[in-house]
Amino acid sequence: MPPLCFSLFHRLIQETAMPDTKQTVLETFHRRYACKKYDPAKKISREDFEFILETGRLSPSSFGLEPWRFLVIQNPALRAELKPLAWGAADKIMDCSHFIVFLARTQAAMQPDYRHKMWSGVHHIPPHIVEMREGFFQQFAEHNFRITESPRTFHDWASKQSYIALANMMTAAAFIGIDSTPIEGFRQEEVNAFLTEKGLFNPAEYRVSLMAAFGYRNEEPRAKTRLPMEEIVQWVE
């Protein structure tokens, strides 16, 4: 972990290591919401945003394949061009401090060479375990979840991994007083074409998964409302 991120993580642990840590966590979850309007005058510090990105980088993914890439769009002109294509971000993209487009790897970009590079080169898994893991992945991909039936089903699976990273990033942001908004309201094919035309990624390797805004709220939300616990949890004993 980079020094700045480590110091922020240490600070977070210190600040939440209270007599009732669970209550502190729940209070943070109650405070976190999908921010509707951002204060354009307030900007996230580089240190704080690197901390948020680090929590995304450290997030879990299926088979440890990390099929994501985070495009941090800070160029105002590029944001303005992207705005008409992202109706869900229209009232946020110009005012939020940081705006991220999450990419998911394509099926073509996650063939055995990529998988083995991740398992051997990144995770340092021994060769015989890599061979076993490859067999498990093929069983999962071809027969259990059938994610290889089409590029679309594969993209849906890879996108799910980026949602895990975003959830962790939004939670981490909330713990240090930063607001966020997950965004699916955009014309996916047009955004893919727009960003590839700008040279931001190779469409053979990535496709857009979702977007997110980060910054500081410009208004207070109403109290959080959710379904009661008994309607969403079923205990099987």
Whether the predicted pLDDT of 9 surpasses 70: no
Residue 212 · residue 181 · CB < 8 Å: yes
- Please count the residues of the chain: 237
| Average pLDDT for 30-53 | 97
Three-state secondary structure call for residue 35: coil
Structural domains of the chain ordered from first start:
3-216 (3.40.109.10)
Give the residues across from 70 on adjacent strands: 102
- Residues 129-165 have pLDDT tens digits of 999 999 999 999 999 999 999 999 999 999 999 999 9
More confident residue, 2 or 194: 194
195-212: per-residue pLDDT in tens? Answer: 999 999 999 999 999 999
Q: Model confidence over 217-229: pLDDT tens digits?
A: 999 998 999 999 9
Residues in contact with 118: Cβ distance below 8 Å, sequence separation at least 6, in sequence order:
64, 65, 66
Q: Is the pLDDT of residue 171 over 90?
A: yes
Neighbours of 152 (CB within 10 A): 11
Query: CB within 8 A of 168, min separation 6: which ones?
Result: 55, 56, 58, 59
Mean pLDDT of 15-27: 77
What's the pTM?
0.90
Least confident stretch, 17-26, 76-85, 171-180, 224-233: 17-26
Contact 171, 24 (CB under 8 A): no
**Whole-number pLDDT of residue 3:** 55
Please give the average per-residue pLDDT across 82-91, as a whole number. Answer: 97
Q: State residue 20's pLDDT score.
A: 84
Average pLDDT over residues 72-96: 98
